Amino acid sequence: MTPIKLAIVGVGKIVRDQHLPSIAKNPDFQLIATASRHGTVDGTPSYTSIEAMLAAVPEIDAVSLCMPPQYRYEAAHKALVAGKHVFLEKPPGATLSEVADLEALAKANGLSLFASWHSRYAPAVEAAKAFLAATTVNSVHVVWKEDVRHWHPNQAWIWQAGGLGVFDPGINALSIVTHILPSLFLTGATLEFPQNREAPIAADLRFTSAGGLPVHAEFDWRQTGKQSWDIIAETAAGQMVLSEGGAKLSVNGELKFAEPEQEYPQLYRRFAEIVKAGTSDVDLAPLRHVADAFMLGKHKFVDAFYD
C-alpha cells in the first residue's frame, strides 16, 4: 500500500519532540507538507496557513493538528471539508460540542478522525488494566504534580480560557483512568485559579462509579523537585502503583512491568490502522471529566502566578 501522504499543522514543541521522529520511522506515512505561522520542518514544503497548504498540495491524504486546542476546531473543519483524514493532538478540542461536530462531519464525509490520547499508550497501562480487571479495586488515588515553569515555559495559550491550565497534563491522567477503570463520574471538585490567569493551576477531584469506587485525583502545577505522575490503587491483591505517567507498574513495591516508552509511534500505528479500516477513534471521556470539573467544581482564587 502506498504511504498516507501526511501534513502537520502547528509546528511547535510536541511536533519536534515526538511527531517528526515517529512519522519518520513509520512506513505507513510520508510527510509532504507543513502549515505553521513560524515553524517549519527542514526539507518539507512549508506554508503559513492550512488554507494555503490545502490549496497548494491537493494530494495530502491526512493532517495532524498540533496547535493549541483553542485553534484546533477551525483547522479540523477545513481539513475534513477538503476530504482529509484528521489526527487531533490531545485535548481534541476546546469544547465537547465542537469535537462532536467534527465526529459527525468525518462520518458524513467517510473520513477518519482520531482523538489521540498519548498517555493511554504508555508502556505499563495495558498491564495495569489487566491487573485491575482481575481483582477487586477498593480505592484509587491519582497524583499528577509537576512544575509548570519547567514543562510549559512561554506557553501563553495554556493559561488562557480553553487552554485547560493544569488539566493540560491532568487530562493525560484522566485518559489513563478512563481506560483502566470502570465508568466514573465526578462528585465534587475544587479548582484553584491564580488571580491573574484564566485557567487553573491546581485541581482536587473526587469521583465515584456506579459500584461506589472512590477515586481521588490531585493535579498541581506548583510542584518543584520530584515530579509525580502516579496512579495508586488499593486492591484485594495489594497496592498497585502505575508510576511515571504510565511507564512503570509495581505491586506491593515489586516492579512488575517497565518497557521503553513508545507512545507516539503507537499513536501513528493506530492512526494508520483506522485510516485503512475507514473508521474513527474518538473517545471524549477524558475531556468530559474536565468539562464536569469546570461545571461542578468550586472556583477558588489563589496567588497570582508569574512565569
The span from the CA of 179 to the CA of 283, in Å, is 10
For the chain, report the end-to-end CA distance as a whole number of angstroms.
48
User: Least distance (Å) from ligand NAP to the CB of residue 150?
Assistant: 11
Query: Do 60 and 2 form a contact (C-beta atoms < 8 A)?
Result: no
- Cβ nearer to ligand NAP, comparing 12 with 238: 12
User: Least distance (Å) from ligand NAP to the CB of residue 152?
Assistant: 7
- Cβ nearer to ligand NAP, comparing 231 with 251: 231
User: Least distance (Å) from ligand NAP to the CB of residue 233?
Assistant: 24
Residues noted as catalytic: 90
DSSP string, 95-139: SHHHHHHHHHHHHHTT--EEE--GGGGSTTHHHHHHHHHTS-EEE
The span from the CA of 87 to the CA of 48, in Å, is 19
The span from the CA of 93 to the CA of 245, in Å, is 22
- Cβ nearer to ligand NAP, comparing 34 with 250: 34
Identify any residues that bridge with 141 across adjacent strands, giving them in sequence order. Answer: 216, 232
User: Least distance (Å) from ligand NAP to the CB of residue 85?
Assistant: 18
The span from the CA of 136 to the CA of 156, in Å, is 43
- Cβ nearer to ligand NAP, comparing 25 with 298: 25
**Nearest 10 degrees: Cα torsion 198, 199, 200, 205:** 130
User: Least distance (Å) from ligand NAP to the CB of residue 271?
Assistant: 15
CA nearest to 124, candidates 132, 116, 134, 136:
132
- Cβ nearer to ligand NAP, comparing 5 with 13: 13
The span from the CA of 186 to the CA of 164, in Å, is 17
Half-sphere exposure of 272 (CA within 13 A, CB side): 18
Contact residues: ligand NAP, CB under 6 A: 10-14, 36-39, 66-69, 71, 89-90, 118, 155, 157, 168
- Cβ nearer to ligand NAP, comparing 14 with 284: 14
**Nearest 10 degrees: Cα torsion 168, 222, 225, 179:** -30
Query: Do 63 and 307 form a contact (C-beta atoms < 8 A)?
Result: no
Q: Which residue is nearest to ligand NAP (CB)?
A: 12
User: Least distance (Å) from ligand NAP to the CB of residue 37?
Assistant: 3
